[in-house]
Amino acid sequence: MRILVVNPNTDEGMTRALAGRARAVCPAEAEIEAATVPFGPTLLSRRRDVAVAGAAVLALLAERAGTMAAAVIGAFADPGLEAAREVLGVPVTGLCEASVLTACQLGARIGLMLGSRPMVPAVEERLRACGVSERVCGIETPAPGSRPGSPDELVAAFGALARGLVERAGAEVIVLGGGRLIGFAPRFAEALPVPVLDSVDCAVLQAHALARLQPRKATVGSFGSPPPARSKGLSGGLARLFADGT
């Protein structure tokens, strides 16, 4: 069973970090393959970046269609997630959706830690579109401009924010959403009185669970395969996406 982890950022270091974390959490029966989108911003931190990354994710998936049992979109804004579900024949998960749905099973009130403050309203819209926004009791981000240097500084800075979510907002589980926080869940869990989830872990394990279910591809509804369609000015994966339908 192969799970494709798509990095919607064009930063290759992030692809390696995602792959490493995915391999660490995944059951032995699954094989992780990681890939970087062919174009777009180096690191997503704004609405502009997410909009371009959505198209880039589709371009990559069109190139890889048919080679995996499930896919993971490895950025917290879930760029292109629903469109990917439409064009692929296998399940797709996203970091935001998968981690919040996982967290729903571990705590009544969920606290989110994000890397970029301007992304907060966009994540809130995403949660509302998912229909689970009532379960999220707070979202914290580091102050604009703060740049923790060492891992210890990062744990100290984000740890104080997470503790505030527990003590003031009543969070019963913390989700780590920012790319810089990959792999830090165990360190946070030591210092906090509630479970702490790495969103990459959650998305990979949800993808594995969905792959085992082997759900049939819908032929109707918004996730039914789209027909081939005329397009203009596209090349590579995106051109194929429209020429072939899926």
Q: Which is nearer to a copy of itself, 113 or 202 (CB)?
A: 202
**Of residues 6 and 173, the one with the C-beta less far from a copy of itself:** 173
- DSSP classification of residue 233: S
Measured from the CB of residue 149, what is the shortest distance to a copy of itself in angstroms? 20
Binding to a copy of itself in span 11-50, by CB under 8 A: 25, 27-29, 38-43, 45-50
CA dist 246 and 243 (Å) reads 8
Indicate the residue among 94 and 150 with the shorter CB distance to a copy of itself.
Answer: 94
Q: Which stretch binds a copy of itself (CB under 8 A): 15-23, 53-61, 154-162, 175-183?
A: 53-61
User: Which of residues 146 and 219 has its CB atom nearest to a copy of itself in the complex?
Assistant: 219
DSSP string, 77-104: T-TTHHHHHHH-SS-EEEHHHHHHHHHT
Burial 37-55 (b: 16+ CB within 10 A, else e): beebbebbbeeebbebbbb
Length of the chain as a residue count: 246
Nearest C-alpha neighbor of 18 from the set 37, 41, 1: 37
Nearer to a copy of itself, 150 or 171 (CB): 171
Minimum gap (Å) between residue 167 Cβ and a copy of itself: 9
55: contact with a copy of itself by CB under 8 A: yes
Question: Taking CB under 8 A as the criterion, which residues in 156-175 touch a copy of itself?
Answer: 166, 170-173
Among residues 81, 49, 43, which one has the least CA distance to residue 203?
Answer: 81
Tokens of 220: 């109707």
**Shortest distance, position 171 Cβ to a copy of itself, whole Å:** 8
Sign of the Cα pseudo-torsion (148, 57, 213, 222, in order): positive
Residue 19 or residue 119: which is nearer to a copy of itself going by CB? 119
Under DSSP, the state recorded for 132 is -
Q: Report the nearest approach of a copy of itself to the CB of residue 60 (Å).
A: 11
By CB under 8 A, the count of residues binding a copy of itself is: 96
- Restricting to residues 176-215, name those near a copy of itself by CB under 8 A: 189, 193-197, 201-202, 205-206, 208-210, 212-213, 215
d(CA 17, CA 68): 20
List the one residue from 2, 63, 104, 164 that touches a copy of itself (CB under 8 A).
104
Of the candidate spans 13-21, 123-131, 145-153, 154-162, the one that interacts with a copy of itself by CB under 8 A turns out to be 123-131
As a whole number of angstroms, the distance between CA 74 and CA 118 comes to 19
Radius of gyration of the chain (CA): 18
